């Protein structure tokens, strides 16, 4: 728990208005972090978390509007004076099959799941490096480690975010930045509501994901976790 608000680390979280993102916000607030939240609809953030204040700021962020990423980062630095961590949580589960001829849907998946996290990483890196212990947590998926369905668009983009995570680790390690990919199986959110493979109560809970995100942020530089693979059913992780 951070006792002094002025010294509390500043974490940016995308896709913060529901599901995993909302759970991350509540957990970090409870542990004294200052947060800068990005979402397409800022009003939904205020409805979810209340009036912004010293510990909490809201910003418009749209993966399809690149300029909103820079505005969000610039406004965060202008208000808080620093950025200690970035949680790339926003994602799309739009379904594109191997046999689908739908370039537009595929482009949307790449824009949300890959290009937006890359853009935010690039913009935040100088600020994260200044702290000497900056953190980037990418919420990926087990679909970025193995394939168990025919959703080729989703699977391809999640494998790509794994490439982004490991490239970030390689490039930014010497500056004290640590990047972690958290790869859950089914999480009890709206995105997993399509499946009947796992009962909702047997899925990973968003609150558990939030605890793992905070763990990645709080681990020291000499004990970084590159990947966290999170199962709710038995899988071979070889």
C-alpha–C-alpha distance, residues 55 and 144, integer Å: 33
Angstrom CA distances, 110 to 19, 70, 135, 139, 145, stand at 21, 19, 23, 15, 17
Q: Known catalytic residue: 58?
A: no
Grouping H, G, I as helix, E, B as strand and the rest as coil, residue 29 is helix
Separation CA 3–CA 215 (nearest Å): 18
Catalytic-role residue among 33, 58, 154, 194: 154
Q: Give me the long-range contacts of 28-31 (CB less than 8 A, separation at least 24).
A: 28/210, 28/213, 28/214, 29/55, 29/56, 31/1, 31/2, 31/214
Contacts of 17 (CB under 8 A, 6+ apart): 37, 39, 41, 44, 45, 48
Residues in the chain: 238
Contact criterion met (CB below 8 Å) for 213 and 24: yes
| Neighbouring-strand partners of residue 85 | 11, 135
Q: Point out the residues that are catalytic.
A: 154
């Amino acid at each position: 728990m951070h006792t002094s608000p002025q010294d509390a680390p500043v974490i940016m979280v995308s896709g913060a208005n529901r599901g995993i993102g909302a759970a991350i916000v509540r957990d970090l607030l409870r542990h004294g972090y200052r947060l800068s939240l990005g979402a397409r609809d800022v009003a939904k953030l205020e409805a979810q978390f209340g009036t912004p204040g010293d510990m909490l700021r809201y910003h418009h962020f749209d993966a399809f509007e690149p300029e909103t990423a820079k505005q969000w980062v610039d406004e965060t630095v202008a208000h808080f004076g620093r950025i200690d961590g970035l949680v790339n949580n926003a994602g799309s589960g739009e379904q594109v099959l191997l046999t689908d001829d739908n370039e537009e849907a595929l482009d949307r998946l790449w824009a949300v799941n890959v290009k937006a996290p890359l853009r935010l990483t690039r913009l935040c890196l100088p600020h994260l490096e200044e702290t000497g212990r900056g953190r980037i947590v990418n919420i990926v998926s087990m679909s970025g480690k193995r394939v168990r369905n025919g959703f080729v668009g989703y699977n391809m983009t999640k494998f790509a975010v794994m490439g982004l995570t490991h490239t970030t680790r390689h490039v930014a390690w010497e500056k004290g930045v640590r990047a972690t990919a958290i790869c859950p199986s089914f999480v009890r959110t709206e995105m997993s509501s399509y499946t009947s493979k796992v009962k909702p109560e047997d899925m990973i809970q968003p609150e558990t994901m939030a605890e793992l995100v905070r763990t990645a942020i709080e681990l020291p530089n000499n004990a970084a976790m590159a990947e966290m693979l999170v199962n709710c059913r038995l899988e071979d992780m070889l």
